[in-house]
Amino acid sequence: EKAGFDHFMLKEIHEQPKAYRDTMRGRISEDGRSVVLPELKITAEQLKGINRVHIVACGTALHAGLVGKNVIENLVRIPVETDVASEYRYRSPIITPDTLVIVVSQSGETADTLAALREAQRCGARVLAITNVVGSSVAREADDVIITLAGPEIAVASTKAYSSQLIAFFLFGLYWAQTIGSKNESEVAHVLAAMQALPEQVEKVLAQAEVIKGVAESISHHSSLFFIGRGIDYAVAMEGSLKLKEISYIHSEAYAAGELKHGTLALIEEGTPVIALLTQEDVYEKMLSNIKETKARGADVLGIINEGHEVEVAKSVDRQFAIPRTLPLLTPALSVVPLQLLSYYASLALGHDVDKPRNLAKSVTVE
């Protein structure tokens, strides 16, 4: 059942290239120049009338939504807010008829997400669901549904479902951009070509798993660490931190790198592990100076970097892991993979039950 892997989580991490291909299949035109989403009922006219977006979800699905916010704002230039589903419905969210609410849920059965969906519809918003389960409550009740084709996810810690949600956001963002013309055909084609390269690039990342295993074993001796990044890397840092807490029980915090010096830097001491994501070229120099701030306090830094930066980064970090080159917006689909492996191998090194972490359930159907 585990197809030769020791745990479902590791199997599911390795299934990501297939999950990406399956989620993209049939949704990119044959000439590779446009997105086709026949499952959407929302018309081009209706989509043109949307002026704001709320993305609502829980846990890992919310972290996919944080990437989704970056994707939609970048491609469509419409303001996007993200919210924790258990907070959303109790804070009288400002939902107008031109608001699109996007709920994200692997299982499609998360009680808080479902309640947020119902609240949004009650307030007159149209709801688009991104879910992995056909026929789930969320899929049945939403106005529009994009199914991720990650296949069944057994491990409690979500991996391939999260990354397939990213693919769904890329597709939907591009579809929206082509519909309203915020990106022209060649710009869309350019992103689609980069997306189609992702599965093979994930294979390359997976082939370097041993590097991450070594780092994981060393961090497993620590009781606290930090994940830092800027922009879309910060969103990925949050997912990396959640994954580590969830299955290794090691405390960690994700921080927007520029925010460290406003308090949290006080917690960095000799040997504190810091996982720094620096895949975004536009804030690359800023990240390097944030890394220096942590190193000056003794941090032991693992840099998640772009291929080609190895030599340059070597003097700023203690260890590094390079991901293949892609477009800045698409990097989360690659950079999350070493973080998934890091939490997997840390949990393994500590002898925990990787697939069934304490206190957690795969599907949270109570509020």
For residues 120 and 88, give the distance between their C-alpha atoms in angstroms, rounded to a whole number: 9
The number of residues that bind ligand F6R (CB under 6 A) is: 14
Q: Is 60 in the site for ligand F6R (CB under 6 A)?
A: yes
For residues 206 and 99, give the distance between their C-alpha atoms in angstroms, rounded to a whole number: 39
23: β partners: none
The nearer residue to ligand F6R, 107 or 331, going by C-beta atoms, is 107
Q: Which residue is nearest to ligand F6R (CB)?
A: 59
Among 15, 83, 246, 300, binds ligand F6R (CB under 6 A): 246
In the region spanning residues 201 to 220, those forming contacts with ligand F6R, defined by CB under 6 A, are: none
CA distances from 21 to 26, 56, 60, 187, 195 (A): 10, 25, 21, 21, 10
Angle between helices 209-219 and 332-349 (to 10 degrees): 50
- Of 90-98, 100-108, 120-128, 263-271, the window that binds ligand F6R (rule: CB under 6 A) is 100-108
The nearer residue to ligand F6R, 105 or 280, going by C-beta atoms, is 105
CA angle 226–227–229, rounded 5-degree value:
135
Among 40, 55, 58, 228, binds ligand F6R (CB under 6 A): 58
For residues 145 and 126, give the distance between their C-alpha atoms in angstroms, rounded to a whole number: 11
The nearer residue to ligand F6R, 110 or 163, going by C-beta atoms, is 110
Site string for ligand F6R, 105-124 (x = CB under 6 A): xxx--x--x-----------
Q: Is 129 in the site for ligand F6R (CB under 6 A)?
A: no
CA 130 to chain centre: 13
In the region spanning residues 325 to 354, those forming contacts with ligand F6R, defined by CB under 6 A, are: none
Q: What is the maximum span of the chain, computed from C-alpha positions, in angstroms?
A: 58
Q: Is 355 in the site for ligand F6R (CB under 6 A)?
A: no
Q: Please name the amino acid found at residue 331.
A: T
Only one residue has tokens 């009650």, namely: 122
Least CB distance from residue 314 to ligand F6R, whole Å? 33
For residues 240 and 275, give the distance between their C-alpha atoms in angstroms, rounded to a whole number: 9
For residues 283 and 310, give the distance between their C-alpha atoms in angstroms, rounded to a whole number: 17
Q: Is 158 in the site for ligand F6R (CB under 6 A)?
A: yes
Q: Is 148 in the site for ligand F6R (CB under 6 A)?
A: no
For residues 226 and 269, give the distance between their C-alpha atoms in angstroms, rounded to a whole number: 11
For residues 164 and 166, give the distance between their C-alpha atoms in angstroms, rounded to a whole number: 5
Q: Is 61 in the site for ligand F6R (CB under 6 A)?
A: yes
- Of 102-110, 122-130, 142-150, 248-256, the window that binds ligand F6R (rule: CB under 6 A) is 102-110
For residues 324 and 202, give the distance between their C-alpha atoms in angstroms, rounded to a whole number: 8
Q: Is 82 in the site for ligand F6R (CB under 6 A)?
A: no
362 is a catalytic site residue: yes
The nearer residue to ligand F6R, 60 or 99, going by C-beta atoms, is 60
Least CB distance from residue 142 to ligand F6R, whole Å? 13
The nearer residue to ligand F6R, 75 or 242, going by C-beta atoms, is 242
For residues 230 and 88, give the distance between their C-alpha atoms in angstroms, rounded to a whole number: 25
Active-site residue among 204, 213, 295, 362?
A: 362
Three-class SS state of 28: strand
The nearer residue to ligand F6R, 161 or 275, going by C-beta atoms, is 161
The nearer residue to ligand F6R, 58 or 313, going by C-beta atoms, is 58
**Residue numbers at the binding site for ligand F6R (CB under 6 A):** 58-61, 105-107, 110, 113, 157-158, 246, 363-364
List active site positions.
Answer: 362
